[in-house]
Amino acid sequence: MLNLLVRLMKTRFLLPFVLLLLAAQDSQTVITSPAAGDVLRGVVTITGTTDSVNFFSAQLDFAYASNSVDTWFALQTFPQPVIDSPLFVWNTIAVTDGDYQLRLRVTFVDGSFDEVIVPIKIQNDVAFAQPTLAPTSTPNSLTIQLPTPFLLAASPTPTEVPRPTPTPLPNNPASLNQNEILVSLGRGGLVIIALFVFSGIVIRLRRN
């Protein structure tokens, strides 16, 4: 009888522990990338897992490392669970350099939640070291080299080329002066009148 009571007491104490283990197995809230302490620059893809049997919703937030007032800025919300998938593409250039925290919170159907927080550092403004110039030695004496002068040969004065004199053309034998033209016209007129007179005489003779 005593052994039975001892077994029941052990079972009573072990039951909450077993329930916690089962709940931990059912809930997987993990940020796989970036890892804790990573330095982020530029555009970064945040990946993780929000798989759970009693999944209701999930949210990815970030906050300053010195978050004394528990103020979180939402990056993305998830209506469905995901397994090792991209959660958000974060352009860290829009955020001031410094220490931050990423939080992935999964809310269950009963109103409870599970979350994971990953500390990170954002550093986009990287100061580049300026190259150091080696000192140059100063010469004791300074030598100045002057260019050698050269003379330009004078160009010869251009001589004016004589223009050719036009040669007069010979008289055209076929050309007529004004008097010859008038004489030709007079002769042609007389010939025409004579032809009219002759034609009139011939017509009269035929009629008679």
Instruction: Tell whether 150 is covered by a domain.
Output: no
Instruction: Tell whether 58 is covered by a domain.
Output: yes
Token representation of residue 152: 């330009």
Instruction: Tell whether 71 is covered by a domain.
Output: yes
Token representation of residue 185: 């016209």
Rounded (10°) CA dihedral 83, 84, 88, 92: 160
Instruction: Tell whether 75 is covered by a domain.
Output: yes
Q: How far apart are CA 111 and CA 107, in angstroms?
A: 6
Q: Are 182 and 189 in contact (CB under 8 A)?
A: no
Q: What is the pLDDT of residue 132?
A: 59
Instruction: Tell whether 152 is covered by a domain.
Output: no
CATH number at residue 46: 2.60.40.10
Q: What is the pLDDT of residue 196?
A: 86
What b/e readout covers 176-187, taking b as 16+ CB neighbours within 10 angstroms? eeeeeeeeeeee
Q: How far apart are CA 80 and CA 23, in angstroms?
A: 19
Q: How far apart are CA 81 and CA 40, in angstroms?
A: 26
Instruction: Tell whether 62 is covered by a domain.
Output: yes
Print the domain residue range for 63.
28-122
Q: How far apart are CA 100 and CA 75, in angstroms?
A: 13
Q: What is the pLDDT of residue 199?
A: 86
The alpha carbons of the chain give a radius of gyration, in whole angstroms, of 60
Cα–Cα separations (whole angstroms), residue 63 to 36, 74, 92, 115: 14, 9, 13, 14
Q: Report how many domains make up the chain.
A: 1
Blockwise average pLDDT, block size 10, the chain, 208 residues = 50 48 61 96 96 93 89 95 95 95 96 95 76 56 60 58 64 66 83 88 84
